[in-house]
Every structure is written in C-alpha cells, then in structure tokens.
Amino acid sequence: MVNDLRERYGPWALVTGSSAGIGKAFSERLAAEHFNLILVARNATRLKEQAGLLERTHGIRCLHLSCDLTRHEDLERLLERTGNVDLGLFVNNAGASSHHGHFIDRPWSQIEKLVEFNTQVQLRLLHYFACHLARRGRGGIIQVGSIAGHMSVPYMVEYSASKAFQLAAGEALSYELSERGVDVLVLSPGATRSERVDYGMDAADVVNSGLTALGRRPSLVPGWHNRFSSLRFRFLNTRARALARMGRFQRTRLVQGPAD
C-alpha cells in the first residue's frame, strides 16, 4: 500500500464522476489520505452532501462543481475553476456507460454521443491536466477505463472500442510524461459493485489497487480473475475463438438492458 500519496501527488486532487461507484471510493480514500478535493459530478444535491461529509470527517477542504461534461460550456467551466489550485492528482473517472445490444439496431446519435464522450472529452481533460502537471514538474493521472478495452466485445461495439482508445492513449502518455515527473495509470476494472450492480469487485479494492500501481506501471486490470480473463482473450485463444466466446456470453445478456 502506498503510504506517501499526499507527499507525492498533493495537496489537491480532482475526481470526476465522484458521487457514486469507483469515483466515490476514490474520493473517500483520498480524503482519508488528507488530500484537499475537487469533486465533479452531475447530481448537485448529492455532490454537496458528499463534500460536506468529507470535510467534517477528515478536516480537509472540499470544493464541488456540478456539471455535465458532455456540455462544452460545463467542461470549459471546470477547467477555468481549477486554474488557481495546486492540483497534483487527476482521477479521470467520469465516462459514458455502455449500451448493450445490436450495433445496427441503435440510432447513430446514441453511438456518436458515447464515442465523443469517451474519446474527445477524455482527451480534452487529459491534455489540459497533463500540461498543468508537466509545468508543475510532478503529479499523477489515473484514467479509469474498463476491462472491455482489453477485449473486442460484441453487442458493446462502440463501448469496447472507446475503452481501447483510452487504454492506448493512457499507456502512451505514461511513457511521454514520465520524463516530466508525472505518473500516468490506466485503471481497467471489470464488474464493480455499486448502487446498480450487486456483483464484482468492491469499489474500494479497485481504488486501492489503482493507487498502489500508480507510478509503478502504465496500466492495470485489478483483480486476478479479471486479469486472467483479459490475458486469455488476448493470448490464450485465437482471435476467432475469443470473439465467439465473448459473443455467446454477451448474447445471453441482451434481455438485461444496458450494461454497467
């Protein structure tokens, strides 16, 4: 377990998608490490309550900004608000959820919106904070992706493709920014328990794995079962067999609606 997180990456951290799931777990862990926090999410009421609780519990400063990062004006407002803060750690957690079903049965507008958020919006955030941290001479970035980025997933076509984009971009940035004193990690969890999902890894365990790996490797699939699944898909099966296995598995879930 990393014991000097605030010394290495403090005093401020920013977490997008901070009010639920993995983002909430990141916020709680970093507050316990005495980071001051900037919390970003869409639900203003929940965000304000979360900020107040973390301030009272841990004696930290906690700014909060309710915004929808799919809106250009909200995205730019976030960047402006962070300009005067000594930010050392950026957790790029917010992302568009997958739509589970046949690619050709969904409207193009839905596909386009997901791909734009998981690629263009993510790159805008990464570029801004990478430049800030490089000028600062130290810091860290955690890009929260998905195990789907390590696979080709039928019935989640654009989602898995966009997560592969995040994986490639983050790993490349990890190499580029290392010479500037900035650590970058792509964290690719599998199923994670949340308000809507009652199976998978605990979000706190995902966060602990990510913070431990930051500065030690460019990417991580947390959990031995998830790591084995991604390894098996890429190396232990032929591509055709791997796609067929994944396709059969996903086809059985079509009746369940959107995946998380």
- pTM of full prediction above 0.75: yes
The catalytic position among 24, 155, 159, 175 is 159
Active-site residue flag, 159? yes
Name the average pLDDT for the chain.
90
Asked if the model's pLDDT at residue 236 lies above 80, the reply is no
Q: How far apart are CA 258 and CA 260, in angstroms?
A: 7
Show me where the domains of the chain are located: 5-256
67-96 residues labelled b (16+ CB within 10 A) or e (exposed): bebeeeeebeebeeebeebebbbbbbbbbb
Q: Cα–Cα distance between 8 and 126 in angstroms, integer?
A: 19
Specify whether 163 is catalytic. yes
**pLDDT above 80: residue 196:** no
Q: Is residue 9 scored above 80 in pLDDT?
A: yes
- The pLDDT value given to residue 238: 59
State both tokens at 87.
Answer: 């930010």
Q: What span, in angstroms and rounded, lies between the C-alpha atoms of 18 and 41?
A: 6
Q: What pLDDT digit, counting tens, does each position of 73-93 carry? A: 999 999 998 988 999 999 999
Return the amino acid letter for 62: C
pLDDT tens digits along 160-183 = 999 999 999 999 999 999 999 999
The residue ranking higher by pLDDT, 202 or 240, is: 202
Query: If one looks up domain 5-256 in CATH, what number appears?
Result: 3.40.50.720
Q: Which long-range contacts (CB under 8 A, 24 or more apart) does 42-49 make?
A: 42/66, 42/67, 42/68, 43/19, 46/19, 46/20, 47/18, 47/19
Whether residue 38 contacts residue 63, with contact meaning beta carbons closer than 8 Å, is answered with: yes
- Point out the catalytic residue in the list 9, 128, 163, 199: 163
pLDDT of residue 95: 86
